[in-house]
Structure 1
Amino acid sequence: MIEILGITGVGEIVPGCDLAALLADALEAMGVVPARNDVLVVTQKIVSKAEGRGVSLDAVTPDAAAEALAATTRKDPRLVSLVLAESSDVVRAVPNVLITRHRSGHVMANAGIDQSNLGPGAADRALLLPEDADASAARLHEALAARFATPPAVVVSDSFGRPWRYGVTNVAIGAAGLPALIDKRGEKDRDGRVLEVTQVALADMVASAAGLATGEGAEGVPAALVRGLAWDAPDVPAAALVRPPHEDLFR
């Protein structure tokens, strides 16, 4: 049976804090002992906060390209400047919408830059994605191994919109200790038919499930433990989930 446990009691995250220790303390306070194949899903927001990825918009001076794109999208030129600095390509720019390919490869709104739930006095600040979310997940996984005999795998999650569908859902932008992508090609289904294209986005599925506990607004639940899973595949980072630009089916 799959269980999803929202992790509470972590507190407000500040730059430089020991995020792994805070998460481990919260798990212990809840009486939760990680078991084999448990996955700790940690929201990108607290990872970015701990890694000091906050930026004051007052410190940003937009250039002409940012000003022009801001006029098209009707967004703050300072925010657009940050988006361009974090992106390798602009995918779509229309009023109130700016979709880019983040330098990590993820295609997302505003290069994943967020201004919500940043804490008191943060009205004019923005939060960037981690420099390398897979590396962030690996560091958390390694640190948790020092606290628990069986450390949980770690997924760093973020909320994405989806083409042709309303609403956001959580996906994995970082992963360690589990196969983010499981390749089933060449295996057979129950009827003996060979699977030709099936790849399972396990880390995305786990991130989405955890989103039921962490929420998207003022819930204040920054992480969730997902347990009851099973897999038989080597560890694969979340970078493997990113489809390369030459396989872009929609442009």
Structure 2
Amino acid sequence: MLLVQSVEGLPPVTGGDDLAAVVAPALRELRWPDGSTGVREGDVVVVASKVVAKAERRLVAARSREELEAVIDSQTVRVVAERVRPDGSSLRIVQNPQGLVLAAAGVDTSDVPLGTALLLPEDPDASARTLRRGLDARLGVRPGVVVTDTVGRPWREGVTDIGIGAAGIITLQDHRGRRDGYGRELRVTVVAAVDEIAAAADLVKGKVDGRPVAVVRGMGHLVTREDGDGARVLARPAEDDLFREGTAEAYARGLADGRA
């Protein structure tokens, strides 16, 4: 059985806060349908990257469109796609220093003071590990921890949450080598388990309801004692990315290789 609960009653998070100290009291009071309280081994604590970034003092000045564009530039490793809006601003899909491909490099101007912008955590996996250690010290259990962010997806309307940081959880479930119901061997099926957990948690966290933390119960088979490799392994390597080049670039390379 899969259970997902939002964590209520969290105070606002500000720069320099110890996130584990802020979250632990509310986790301790969390009540489940079976009458139990708190978190236990095998649970997964899912935290929005925004509160992690706020605690890590990732708020920067962005008092004008030009300053905001400069902030996005500072977080851009590679421009994937760009479209100029009618007002002259640009919508950019870029790869950021963490290897994530996001609109505006994940720079966020919602739910922050006017004239500022919030960067993503500098190292989301390290953030997840730190939070996990802090929760262990305060609660006596080592839950899995997932740090999430909201993304759009090619060819799909709407947004969803994915895991950008993780600790103590198997991020990818490799089903290759197993057999389907007809006995055929699975050759390509690798499930992004952390992303599925992030999306499930977002159903109860909410974007504007002040609930940035949720707990997922029922995925204990993915929770590990060691922190593990984190969510960084979910970023597809360049050599495996079939969409890294635009049509013109791919055609030009094909001409050079004698294939077009």
Same fold flag (TM > 0.5): yes
Among 44, 56, 62, the alignment partner of 1:57 is: 62
Listed as ranges, the matches of 1:105-184 within 5 Å are 105-118=99-112, 122-184=113-175
TM-score (norm: length of structure 1): 0.87
Equivalent position SS for 1:169 = strand
Give the CA deviation at 1:51. 0.2
Provide the TM-score with structure 2 as the length reference.
0.84
What's the counterpart of residue 230 of structure 2? 237
The residue identity in structure 1 corresponding to 2:211 is V
Displacement after TM superposition at 1:50 (Å):
0.2
2: CA distance between counterparts of 1:43 and 1:232? 20
| One-letter code aligned to 1:7 | V
Match in the other structure for 1:86: 75
Q: Which residue of 2 aligns with 1:246?
A: 239
**In structure 1, what is the Cα distance between the partners aligned to 2:40 and 2:130?**
19
1:6 and 1:183 mapped to 2: Cα distance? 29
183, 191, 198: which is aligned to 1:192? 183
1:80-134 Cα offsets, whole Å, 9 max, x none, are: 211111121011111242100011111000000001112xxx1110000000000
Cross-structure match for 1:64: none
CA contact (8 A) 2:41 2:220 kept: no
8 Å contact kept, 2:163–2:195: yes
For residues 140 and 74 of structure 2, what CA distance do their matches in structure 1 show?
41
1:34-73 residue pairs with structure 2 within 5 A? Answer: 34-58=39-63
Q: Could you tell me how far 1:193 is from its partner in structure 2?
A: 1.8
After superposition, the Cα gap between the structure-2 partners of 1:233 and 1:14, relative to the gap in structure 1 and judged at 3 Å, is closer
Q: Structure 1 runs of 4+ off > 4 angstroms?
A: none
Listed as ranges, the gaps of 5+ residues in structure 1 are 61-75
User: What secondary structure does 1:87 align onto?
Assistant: coil
Per the alignment, residue 258 of structure 2 pairs with none
Residue 239 of structure 2 aligns with an amino acid whose one-letter code is H
- CA distance in structure 2 between the aligned counterparts of 1:168 and 1:190, rounded to whole angstroms: 33
- What's the CA shift for 1:16? 0.5
What corresponds to 2:195 in structure 1? 204
Q: Is contact 1:42–1:157 with CA below 8 Å preserved after alignment?
A: yes
- Of 227-236 and 125-134, the range deviating more from structure 2: 227-236
Structure 2 counterpart of 1:70: none
Distance 1:210 1:238 in 2: 16
Q: May I ask how many residue pairs the two structures share in their alignment?
A: 231
Matching residue within 93, 97, 102 for 1:103: 97
CA distance, structure 1, for counterparts of residue 43 and residue 29 of structure 2: 17
Partners of 1:5 and 1:225 within 8 A in 2: yes
In structure 2, list runs of 5 or more residues that go unmatched: 32-36, 86-90, 246-260
Aligned CA RMSD, in angstroms, stands at 1.6
Higher mean alpha-carbon deviation, 46-55 vs 195-204, is at 195-204
